Structure 1
Amino acid sequence: MKTVYETDTFKKQADKIWAEDERLAFVTYIAENPDAGDVIPNAEGARKIRWNLGGQGKRGGVRVIYFNVSEDLLCLVAIYKKTEQSNMSAKKIKEVH
Structure 2
Amino acid sequence: MKAVFVELPAFERHRSIYLDAAAFLALQNLLMKHPEAGDPIQDAGGLRRLRFADARRGKGKRGGLRVIYYWWVPGLQFWLFTVYDKDEMADLTRQQRKALKTMIKAELEARRNV
TM-score (norm 1): 0.88
For 1:30, the equivalent position in structure 2 comes to 31
The letter for the 2-side match of 1:59 is R
SS in 1 for 2:90: coil
The letter for the 1-side match of 2:60 is G
Q: Is the 8 A contact 1:31 1:74 kept in 2?
A: no
**Paired positions, count:** 97
SS in 1 for 2:83: strand
- Supply the distance in 1 between the matched residues of 2:81 and 2:98 (Cα, whole angstroms): 10
The letter for the 1-side match of 2:45 is E
Q: Which has the higher helix share?
A: 2
| Aligned partner of 1:63 among 48, 61, 66 | 66
SS in 2 for 1:49: strand
Name stretches of at least 5 consecutive residues in structure 2 with no aligned partner.
Answer: 104-114
- Supply the distance in 2 between the matched residues of 1:79 and 1:34 (Cα, whole angstroms): 17
Q: What's the RMSD between the two structures over aligned residues? A: 1.6
Give the Å deviation of 1:16: 1.0
- Supply the distance in 1 between the matched residues of 2:99 and 2:16 (Cα, whole angstroms): 21
| Aligned partner of 1:84 among 77, 88, 113 | 88
SS in 2 for 1:30: helix
Name stretches of at least 5 consecutive residues in structure 1 with no aligned partner.
Answer: none
TM-score (norm 2): 0.76
Q: Is the 8 A contact 1:10 1:78 kept in 2?
A: yes
Give the Å deviation of 1:89: 2.4
The letter for the 2-side match of 1:84 is E
Q: Is the 8 A contact 1:43 1:91 kept in 2?
A: no
The letter for the 1-side match of 2:89 is Q
